[in-house]
Amino acid sequence: MNLFPYTPRKSQMAIMQTIKNTLVSEGDMVFESGTGSGKTICTLTSTLEYALENNKKIIYTTRTNAQQRQVILELRAIRNKNKDIEEKIFGVGIQGRSNMCLLARNDPEFSNGAAEELSKFCSNEKKKAKSTKKDKDKGCIYYRNSLDKEKVDSTIEWVNQNLPTAEEFIDFCEKKQLCPYEINKLLIRKSSLVVVPYVYVFDLMIRNMLFDCLSCPEEDMILVVDEAHNLPNYIRDSFSAQLSMYMLNSCVMEAEKYGDPSIADGKLSISDFCKVLIDIVRDLRDTYVYGILENGIRTGPPRNNDAFIPSHEFETEILSRLKITSKTLHDIVGDLMVYGEKIQEYCQKDGKLPRSYLHKLGLFLDFWISLEMNQYAKLVVDARNGKNPRIEAFCLDPSVGTGIIRDFHSSIHMSGTLEPLEEYRDSMDLGENIELVSYPSPFPKENRRIFFVRDVTTKYDEILRDEKILSKMRNHITSICNTFQKNTMVFFPSFNIMSMFKENGDFNGINRCLYVEDQEMSQTALMDLVSDFKGHGDEDGDGAALFSVMGGRISEGMDFPAEQLEIAVIVGIPYPKPTARQRGLQRYYDMKFRKGWEYTVEAPTARKLLQSIGRLIRDENDRGVAVILDRRASRFKRYIRDLQESKNLMEDMKSFMEK
C-alpha cells in the first residue's frame, strides 16, 4: 500500500493484501478480477514492495507487447508517487530478439528467424566485431558501437531517468546506432522488475540467458503471469511439433544445393529420403483426412481438416518403404542433424541466417520417434486447402512445461476471465495448496447491460434448417449500428464467418463509418485502425462500427474507455471447432480430470465471450451495453451472471441508453 500511486478501491486493497500474504508464505496464487479493475497496478505494487524489502526480483510475463507497455507505464506512476526512493524503482521491458535486434528489424530474412537461428547469427556477428575492431565493415555495427563505454553509459543514464517502454528504448537505441539487446542485458542486472514475453520463462534456452543476466537464483524471483488464461494454450503450442510438405520440399532443395550426400550406408540420398517422407505424409492425409483407400473409394465421415493417426504409423511406413531397420533410421536422424549443422556453418560464413531445414527435420524425427504418447496426440492436418499437409505431435498437457514455476519464490497468476479457476490450476499442475480467488467487479452493476436474443444462432445445422436465421442476424446487426450513434464493436466467432457476412453484402446496409479487421493485418496497421475507430467516439464524435473477432488481438488487452466503445455485439457463440485436435484434448481431460467438456469447451468459450464484453467497462464511470446474438447464450449464465433475455432488443437498448 505504501507504493500504490492512486486512490485504492476496496477490491484493490483486498487483492494487494492477498498477494502480500501469498508472498510472505512463499506460496502461489491464481486470481480473477474483471477487466478494468486494476489487476496490473495491484499486482505490480504489492510484488514490488515485497521485492524491494526482501531483495527479490520480479519476472512479469505478458502475452502481448501492449500488455508489456502497460506494466512499464504503471511502474512510472509508482515512481512518480515515491520520489524519495525513485532510484530503487527501476524495471525494463524486453521483447523477442527479432524485435530488439536492429539488423533483424531492418531485414525481412532475419526478422522471420527463429530464436536459435538469431542467437547463432548474433554470436557470430559479435565475434567478428570483436576480432576486427579496426574494420568497420565487419560484424554488427550496433554491437560494435555498444562496446563504446561512453555511449553505453549515457544510454543507461537516459533509461534510468525515463523508464522507457521497450518500443521507446529500441527507437532510442536505433537513433544512437546501439544494440538494444546488449544494453538491456546490462540493465537487467540492476532491475527489480523485468517484463518479458512468456517465451523468456517457458523456453529453456531463453530462460537460461535471462536468469544468467539476472544473476540470482530462482528462489529469489517472483513470477507474475498476466492474462494467464492464454498460458496453457501457449505452452501446448510451444511443446508441439510439426512436419509439413513445405518443410520437406525445402529439405529437398537444401540437400540438392549442398551436394545431396548419401545416407543409410549409401543406399539412398538425403533428397530421396525426403521425397519418400513427402509421399508418406500425402498418403496419410488421403487415408485419414479424406478417407480414401488405394482403389479410390472414399470411406468414413465427410472430409475434415485433420485426423488422428496411429502412434507408430509414420515411422513404420518409413521402415517398410525403405526396407531399413529402426537402428538405421536412428542413424539417418543423426546424419541429418550433422549435415544440417554444417549447412548452418556455411550460411553463417556467407553472412546469412544459420538456417537448415535438414537440421530441423532431424530434430523433428528424433522428437517424433521418442515421444511419450500419454501427453501427446499424433495428427495429420490438411493445411491450406490441401497444398501443405502436415503431420503434427500435438501437446495435450501444458504441465509438461510448467515445472519451472515450482522453483520460484512465489507465482501470481491473474486474468479478467479465468473461471473455473480449478481448471487453470489442474491444467498447469500447480497443486492443491495454491490460493484461488475470484474478485467481484468493483463497478456499479447498473452501468452495464448484457442482453441475448433467442431468434438467431450461428449453430450450423440450425442455419441449414432455417434460412431466415442469417437474415434475422443481419437485421439485428444493421439495426443496432444504424440506430445508435455510438461507437459499436461487432465480434464474430471467426474470420471465416465475418468474411461470409462481408461477401454476402451484409455490411452494405450499415450507414456508419465502418472499420473491418483483416486477419493478415500487421500490428502497426491494426493499431492505426483502432486509433481511427476510437477517434469517432471522442469529443462528441458521430460514432463508428468496428468488425472484429472473439479471441483476437482487439478483444484482448485493448482499452476503449468512455465513449470510445459503448456497444458490443457478439455474433454467435465461439465454440471451438470439433477438430481431431479438439476431440483429443477433450478426451485427455476426460481421462485425467473427468471434466473434458467443462475444461476444454465450455470454459474457453465463456472466456472469449467475457473478454469481448470486457472491452466495454474500464472504470466506474463507463457505461455500455452488450448483445449476444445467439439463443445458446443462456447456457453461460454461470459465467455471465448479469445476462438477461431481451424480447424487444431495440426497445431494451434504447431504454438503457436514455437513462
How confident is the model over 352-371, as pLDDT tens digits? 889 999 999 999 999 999 99
With a cut of 80, say whether residue 106 has pLDDT above it: no
291: Cα separation from own chain's centroid:
33
Among 274-288, 435-449, 567-581, the least confident range: 435-449
With a cut of 70, say whether residue 302 has pLDDT above it: no
Radius of gyration of the chain measured on its C-alpha atoms: 27
Q: Across 27-36, 48-57, 99-108, 529-538, which has the greatest mean pLDDT?
A: 48-57
Three-state secondary structure along 384-399? CCCCCCEEEEEECCHH
Write out the three cell numbers for 60.
512479469
Q: Grid cell 500511486 — which residue? A: 5
Mean pLDDT of all residues in 460-489: 92
Write out the three cell numbers for 548.
472484429
CA distances from 235 to 63, 202, 587 (A): 12, 7, 19
Confidence of residue 296 (pLDDT cuts 50, 70, 90): low
- How many Cβ atoms from other residues are within 10 Å of residue 151's Cβ? 15
Q: For residue 424, what pLDDT is reported?
A: 96
Q: How much of the chain exceeds pLDDT 70, in percent?
A: 97
Q: For residue 586, what pLDDT is reported?
A: 96
Question: Cβ distance 136 to 118 under 8 Å?
Answer: no
β pairing state of 544-549 and 513-516: parallel
At 123-142, the pLDDT tens digits run: 888 888 887 655 566 788 89
Q: How much of the chain exceeds pLDDT 90, in percent?
A: 71
Whole-number Å distance between alpha carbons of 464 and 467: 6
Mean pLDDT of all residues in 39-64: 95
Question: Cβ distance 27 to 191 under 8 Å?
Answer: no
With a cut of 80, say whether residue 101 has pLDDT above it: yes
Whole-number Å distance between alpha carbons of 570 and 466: 20
With a cut of 80, say whether residue 245 has pLDDT above it: yes
Mean pLDDT of all residues in 478-500: 92
At 542-600, the pLDDT tens digits run: 889 999 999 888 887 677 888 899 999 999 999 999 999 999 999 999 999 999 999 99
Backbone angles phi, psi at 606, to 5 degrees: -60, -40
With a cut of 80, say whether residue 299 has pLDDT above it: no
Mean pLDDT of all residues in 327-353: 93
At 145-202, the pLDDT tens digits run: 999 999 999 999 999 999 999 999 999 999 999 999 999 999 999 999 999 999 999 9
Mean pLDDT of all residues in 81-98: 92
Write out the three cell numbers for 121.
547469427
- Rounded to whole angstroms, the maximal C-alpha distance in the chain is 82
* Identity at 606, one-letter amino acid code: A
Helix (DSSP H) and strand (DSSP E) numbers for the chain: 28, 20
Measuring CA to CA, which residue among 1, 9, 50, 3 is closest to residue 29?
50
- Better pLDDT: 116 or 396: 396
With a cut of 80, say whether residue 111 has pLDDT above it: no
With a cut of 80, say whether residue 620 has pLDDT above it: no
Confidence of residue 298 (pLDDT cuts 50, 70, 90): low
Question: Cβ distance 615 to 560 under 8 Å?
Answer: yes
Q: For residue 132, what pLDDT is reported?
A: 61
Q: For residue 648, what pLDDT is reported?
A: 96
Q: What is the mean pLDDT of the chain?
A: 91
Whole-number Å distance between alpha carbons of 86 and 302: 64
- Better pLDDT: 114 or 379: 379
With a cut of 80, say whether residue 108 has pLDDT above it: no
Whole-number Å distance between alpha carbons of 587 and 599: 11
Q: For residue 514, what pLDDT is reported?
A: 93
β pairing state of 567-571 and 624-629: parallel
The model's pTM: 0.90
Mean pLDDT of all residues in 424-438: 94
- Better pLDDT: 45 or 384: 45
Strands (E), 216-305: 221-225, 241-244, 262-263, 268-269
Domains of the chain by start residue, with CATH:
1-90+192-230+409-442 (3.40.50.300), 96-190 (1.10.30.20), 241-398 (1.10.275.40), 445-658 (3.40.50.300)
What angle, 0 to 180 degrees and rounded to 10, lies between the N-to-C axes of helices 270-284 and 313-322?
130
Write out the three cell numbers for 350.
556467407
Q: For residue 557, what pLDDT is reported?
A: 65
For 447-505, where are the alpha helices, taking DSSP H only?
Answer: 460-465, 468-483, 495-503
